[in-house]
Amino acid sequence: MDFLSDTATVYIILAAVFGIFMAWGIGANDVANAMATSVGSKAITIKQAIIIAAIFEFAGAYLAGGEVTKTIRKGIVDLNAFDGNPDLLIWGMLASLLAAGTWLLIASMKGWPVSTTHSIVGAVVGFAAVGVSSDAVSWGKVGSIVMSWVVSPLLAGSIAYAVFTSIQRLIMNTTDPLANAKKYGPFYLFIVGFVISLVTIKKGLKHIGLDVNGGFEFLYAAGVGVIVALIGAYLISRVKFDKSQEVRSHFVNVEKIFAVMMVFTAAAMAFAHGSNDVANAVGPMAAVISIAQSGTVMAKSTLPGWVLLVGGLGIVIGLATLGYRVMQTVGKNITELTPTRGFSAEIAAATTVVLASYTGLPVSTTQILVGAILGVGLARGIAAIDLHVVRNIFMSWVVTLPAGAALSIVFFYILKAIFS
């Protein structure tokens, strides 16, 4: 263990630097998951999107990011395989951060909405399987993660289809769409407030020493949902409607109402994204720090609060610097989005991601949001979807996992050569 103790500080510093780089990549690429539909439907500007995302991505990462972090940190690899060689796990996790961050930088420059979760999971599996042994990978856990990548976009697409269909029936296809939009809008916002606050109360408050259970979490979440609905109702009442446009089309003013409501779903999606995807950066960081401090892979340790802070800060910097490129692809190129369509996609995506964070599954928010947008597009007919753009997105997803694995293997052997 002399080797570890002599280099522990170096490892912790490298973990922090590589972790910020990875978190930056998450922000640069995955800001589209939280904000693209809002910007694409012209509900908010890019500047407003960055401000909203900065606040709620950080809040989600810090308050509800711990559960998924456990899976990335020690669920993908079999720690017993590294018991005699903890240095191998340190090199591997550092290589994984660097590999995933590098791939996300390339993808973000190209405007590809790739999966940050695919990137880090592929990187961890790559170094463990090739650099150490195939037995070092917990293939059962990896299998459940891969299954979630299939199930989660289908679930999001189904929810988005159902929400958009309900909006059409309750509001759009009625004799007075504007009156019904005012009537039912707060009910949709109640769902947004309830779902997001539930995962925060159940999982996030433990970080600040509060543990709510016994059914009270549902009561508190319902209370928050009511507050969000009341705020939404007030803001909707303040919307100025164009009477001349009302004569030509009820839908113009209905879309104005949903544009207001999308501020809430944008915040919800940002929170949900931060709660799930911060783990992709801080999971490997936490593993390196724990091993460097204890000298063993089996030590039980709490997740340092500053690690989640670093992850949240990196995400915010990334989305503010390069996030607009992927936002263009997801928000405008897949299908034409209006506030009602964007609202349907975002509420579905946020709900799916929050459910995944609640269970600790590191799902792909990119896949979930694209699935939700496709669900909305299908509700309008297959012709409403640009299949060429969808095909390119699918191809980038296929490439991401092996790209992360290959880069991780290369960086693993470089770090091994430097430190061994």
Over its length of 420 residues, how does the chain's per-residue pLDDT go in tens digits?
A: 454 556 888 998 999 899 899 989 888 887 666 677 777 777 788 788 888 888 887 777 777 665 555 555 556 777 777 777 888 889 988 999 999 999 999 988 877 778 787 888 889 888 888 877 787 777 877 777 777 777 888 888 888 889 889 998 999 888 888 889 999 999 999 988 888 787 667 655 555 555 666 677 788 889 999 999 999 999 988 887 766 665 556 677 888 888 888 888 888 778 777 776 777 777 788 888 888 887 776 555 566 777 777 787 888 788 888 777 777 666 555 666 778 888 888 888 878 877 776 676 667 777 787 888 888 877 766 656 667 777 777 787 778 888 999 999 999 999 999 987
| Residue indicated by tokens 């951060």 | 97
Where do the structural domains in the chain lie, given as residue ranges?
A: 2-419
Amino acid identity of 262?
M
Which structure tokens are listed for 40? Answer: 């694409």
DSSP 8-state assignment for residue 44 = S
Contact 374, 157 (CB under 8 A): yes
The total of other beta-carbon atoms located within 10 Å of residue 152's CB is 22
317/130 Cα distance (integer angstroms): 33
State how far the alpha carbon of 313 is from the alpha carbons of 27, 56, 107, 137, 348, in Å.
9, 12, 21, 30, 26
**139-146 long-range CB contacts below 8 Å, 24 or more apart?**
141/71, 141/75, 141/76, 142/76, 144/361, 145/71, 145/76, 145/117, 145/121, 145/361, 145/362
Q: What is the total residue count of the chain?
A: 420
CA 351 → CA 209, 233, 387, distances in Å?
A: 25, 21, 26
The alpha helices in 41-137, defined as continuous H runs, are 46-64, 66-74, 86-110, 116-126
DSSP summary character for residue 223: H
Query: How far apart, in whole angstroms, are the C-alpha atoms of residue 203 and residue 62?
Result: 11
Which residue carries 């207001």 as its tokens?
Answer: 260
Three-state secondary-structure class, residue 41? coil
Cα–Cα distance measured from residue 411 to residue 122, given in angstroms and rounded to the nearest whole number: 14
Q: Do the Cβ atoms of 255 and 236 come closer than 8 Å?
A: no
Q: What's the confidence (pLDDT) of residue 1?
A: 47
- Check the CA dihedral 104-107-108-112 and report its sign: negative
Which amino acid does the sequence have at 151? V
Q: Where is 184: in which H helix or E strand?
A: helix 177-203
- Count of Cβ atoms closer than 10 Å to residue 200 Cβ: 22
What confidence score (pLDDT) does residue 99 get?
95
Question: b/e map of 270-309 (b: 16 or more CB within 10 Å)?
Answer: bbbbbbbbbbbbbbbbbbbbbbbbbbebeeeeebeeebbe
Q: Which residues have a Cβ under 8 Å from the Cβ of 29 and sit 6 or more positions away?
A: 104, 107, 108, 112, 113, 114, 116, 318, 323, 326, 366
Residue listed under structure tokens 């796990």: 89
- Phi first, then psi: give them for residue 385, nearest 5 degrees: -105, 135
